[in-house]
Structure 1
Amino acid sequence: MIFKSALRRELSFTTGGVFLVLVTIMVTTLVIRILGYAANGTVNPEDAIVLIALATLGYLAVLLTVSLFVATLIVLVRWYKDSEMIVWFASGLSISNLIRPILQFATPLIIVIALLALFVWPWANRETTLISQRFQQRDDVSMVSAGQFKESARAERIFFIEELDVDKSEVKNIFVADNKNGRLSIAVASTGFIQNSEGGEKSIVLRNGRRYEGYPTEPDFRILEFNDYTTKIRSKEALAPAPRDREKTISELLNDGNPNAINANRAELLWRIGLPLMALGLVLIAIPLAYVNPRLGNYTAMFYAVLIYLIYSNLLNLTQNFVAQGKFSVFVGVWPIHLLALLIATILIRNRINPSVKWWRRQLPAALAKK
Structure 2
Amino acid sequence: MIIRRYLVKQVMETSLVVIALLTLIMMGGRLIKYFGIAAQGRIDANILFSIIGYRLPEFLTLIMPLGFFIGLMLVFGRLYIDHEMAVLNASGVSRNQLARLLAPLTIVFLIVQLVMMVWVSPWGLRKFEQLSSTQAVRTGFDLVRPKEFVSSGAYTIYASDLSEDRKNLRDIVFYQRAIKEGKPDVVILAREATRVEIPNDTASVVDLIDGRRYEIYPGQPRYTQAEFKSYRLRIENNKEADISGDKAESMRLQQLWEKRQNPVVQSELGWRLCVPFAIVVALLLATALSEVNPRQGRYYRLLPAILIFASLIVALMAVKTRITKDQLSIWAYPAVIFGYAFVTILFLRKPNLAPKLKLKLSK
**CA offset digits 1:296-327 (Å, max 9, x no partner):** 33522202212112210111111112222222
The 1:179/1:148 distance shift into structure 2, 3 A limit, reads: closer
Query: Within 5 A, what are the aligned runs for 1:103-142?
Result: 103-138=103-138, 141-142=141-142
Is residue 41–residue 139 contact of structure 2 (8 Å, CA) maintained in 1?
Answer: no
Deviates more, 1:236-245 or 1:75-84: 236-245
Secondary structure, aligned partner of 1:330: coil
2:30 is the alignment partner of 1:37 = no
Secondary structure, aligned partner of 1:76: helix
Query: What's 1:222 paired with?
Result: none
The 1:77/1:137 distance shift into structure 2, 3 A limit, reads: same
Q: Which runs of 5+ in 2 are unaligned?
A: 177-184, 214-228, 358-363
Q: Which runs of 5+ in 1 are unaligned?
A: 214-228, 361-371
Query: What's 1:268 paired with?
Result: 268
Q: What's the TM-score once normalised by structure 1's chain length?
A: 0.75
Identity %: 19
Query: What's 2:340 paired with?
Result: 341
Deviates more, 1:241-250 or 1:13-22: 241-250
| CA positional deviation for 1:36 | 2.8
Secondary structure, aligned partner of 1:158: strand
| CA positional deviation for 1:128 | 2.1
| CA positional deviation for 1:7 | 0.9
Secondary structure, aligned partner of 1:137: helix
Query: What's 2:257 paired with?
Result: 254
The 1:83/1:179 distance shift into structure 2, 3 A limit, reads: closer
Secondary structure, aligned partner of 1:293: coil
| CA positional deviation for 1:92 | 1.3
Quick one: which of 176, 191, 200 aligns to 1:187?
Answer: 191
Query: What's 1:67 paired with?
Result: 67
Write the letter of the residue equivalent to 2:191: A
Q: Which whole-Å CA distance do the structure 2 matches of 1:161 and 1:280 have between them? A: 60
Query: What's 1:24 paired with?
Result: 24
Query: Within 5 A, what are the aligned runs for 1:1-371?
Result: 1-138=1-138, 141-143=141-143, 151=150, 158-161=158-161, 163-165=163-165, 171=168, 174-176=170-172, 187=191, 194-195=195-196, 202-204=205-207, 230-236=230-236, 244-256=247-259, 262-297=262-297, 299-331=299-331, 333-352=332-351
Write the letter of the residue equivalent to 1:68: F
| CA positional deviation for 1:111 | 0.4
Q: Which whole-Å CA distance do the structure 2 matches of 1:51 and 1:133 have between them? A: 12
Q: Which whole-Å CA distance do the structure 1 matches of 2:204 and 2:295 have between them? A: 78
Is residue 143–residue 150 contact of structure 1 (8 Å, CA) maintained in 2?
Answer: no
The 1:46/1:233 distance shift into structure 2, 3 A limit, reads: farther
The 1:203/1:53 distance shift into structure 2, 3 A limit, reads: closer
Alignment length, in residue pairs?
331
Secondary structure, aligned partner of 1:232: strand
Q: What's the TM-score once normalised by structure 2's chain length?
A: 0.77
| CA positional deviation for 1:126 | 2.3
Query: What's 2:224 paired with?
Result: none
| CA positional deviation for 1:70 | 0.6
Query: What's 2:181 paired with?
Result: none
The 1:19/1:152 distance shift into structure 2, 3 A limit, reads: closer
Write the letter of the residue equivalent to 1:318: A
Q: Which whole-Å CA distance do the structure 1 matches of 2:186 and 2:319 have between them? A: 51
The 1:152/1:342 distance shift into structure 2, 3 A limit, reads: closer
| CA positional deviation for 1:118 | 1.0
| CA positional deviation for 1:13 | 1.2
Write the letter of the residue equivalent to 2:32: I
Q: Which whole-Å CA distance do the structure 2 matches of 1:123 and 1:2 have between them? A: 40
Q: Which whole-Å CA distance do the structure 2 matches of 1:99 and 1:201 have between them? A: 59
Q: Which whole-Å CA distance do the structure 2 matches of 1:106 and 1:89 have between them? A: 22
**CA offset digits 1:60-101 (Å, max 9, x no partner):** 122111111110110000000000001100111222211221
